[in-house]
Amino acid sequence: MTLFLCGVFGIAVGGSPTWIGVCAMFACLGLGVGGNLPVDGALFLEFLPFASGNLLTMLSVWWPVGQLVASLIAWGLVPKYTCAEGLPSCHLAPAPCCAKEDNMGWRYLTYILGVLTFLMFLSRFFLFHLFESPKFLLSRGRQEDAVAAVHGIAHKNGAKTWLTVDILNEIGGHPDEVQSQKLSTAEIIKRQLNKFSGERISPLFATKSLGFTTVLLWFCWATIGMGYPLFNAFLPQYLSQGGGDKYPPPTTYTVYRDYAITSIVGVPGSLIACYTVDIPYIGRKGTMAISTMITGVILFCFTISPDPKVRLACTCLEAFFQNIMYGVLYAYTPEVFPAPNRGTGTGIASCLNRICGLLAPIVAIYGGDANPKAPVYASGGLMLAAFVAMILLPIETRGKASL
Local confidence pLDDT in tens for the 403 residues of the chain: 778 888 888 899 988 888 899 999 988 888 777 666 666 666 776 676 655 556 767 777 888 888 899 999 999 999 888 888 778 888 778 878 888 888 899 999 999 999 998 998 888 778 877 777 777 777 677 788 888 888 888 887 788 888 887 777 776 666 554 444 555 566 656 665 565 556 677 778 878 888 899 999 999 999 999 998 888 877 777 777 765 557 777 788 888 898 899 889 988 888 888 888 888 888 888 999 999 999 999 999 988 888 888 889 999 999 999 989 988 888 888 888 887 777 788 888 888 988 898 888 888 888 777 777 888 899 999 999 999 999 999 888 775 655 5
Whether residues 15 and 162 share a domain: the answer is no
Is 63 contained in some domain? no
Whether residues 159 and 220 share a domain: the answer is no
The domain boundary, picked from 130, 163, 196, lies at 130
Is 277 contained in some domain? yes
Cβ neighbours of 211 (radius 10 Å): 14
Q: Where do the DSSP E strands lie in 63-188?
A: none
Whether residues 221 and 107 share a domain: the answer is no
Q: Are 298 and 269 in contact (CB under 8 A)?
A: no
Is 59 contained in some domain? no
Q: Are 306 and 242 in contact (CB under 8 A)?
A: yes
Is 57 contained in some domain? no
Is 68 contained in some domain? no
Cα 121 from Cα 11, distance rounded (Å): 14
Cα 304 from Cα 302, distance rounded (Å): 6
Is 208 contained in some domain? yes
Is 70 contained in some domain? no
Whether residues 101 and 233 share a domain: the answer is no
Is 281 contained in some domain? yes
Whether residues 334 and 374 share a domain: the answer is yes
Whether residues 242 and 266 share a domain: the answer is yes
Q: What is the CA radius of gyration of the chain?
A: 24
Provide the β-strand partners of residue 243: 247
Whether residues 311 and 336 share a domain: the answer is yes
Nearest to 402 by CA among 325, 333, 324: 333
Q: Are 277 and 56 in contact (CB under 8 A)?
A: no
**3-state DSSP call for residue 358?**
helix
Whether residues 158 and 266 share a domain: the answer is no
* Spatial CB neighbours of 84, under 8 Å, sequence gap ≥ 6: 98
In the chain, how long is the greatest CA-to-CA distance? 81
Query: How do the residues of the chain divide into helix, strand and coil, expressed in percent and rounded to 5?
Result: 75, 0, 25
Whether residues 118 and 212 share a domain: the answer is no
**3-state DSSP call for residue 98?**
strand
Whether residues 158 and 215 share a domain: the answer is no
Handedness of CA 55, 280, 291, 223 (dihedral sign): positive
Whether residues 151 and 225 share a domain: the answer is no
Whether residues 93 and 168 share a domain: the answer is no
Return the DSSP state at 204: G
Distances (CA, A) of 321 to 16, 122, 124, 226: 36, 33, 31, 17
CATH code of the domain in which 229 resides: 1.20.1250.20
Please state the domain count of the chain.
3
Cα 269 from Cα 358, distance rounded (Å): 26
Q: By residue range, what is the domain housing residue 119?
A: 1-47+78-130
Q: Are 261 and 242 in contact (CB under 8 A)?
A: no
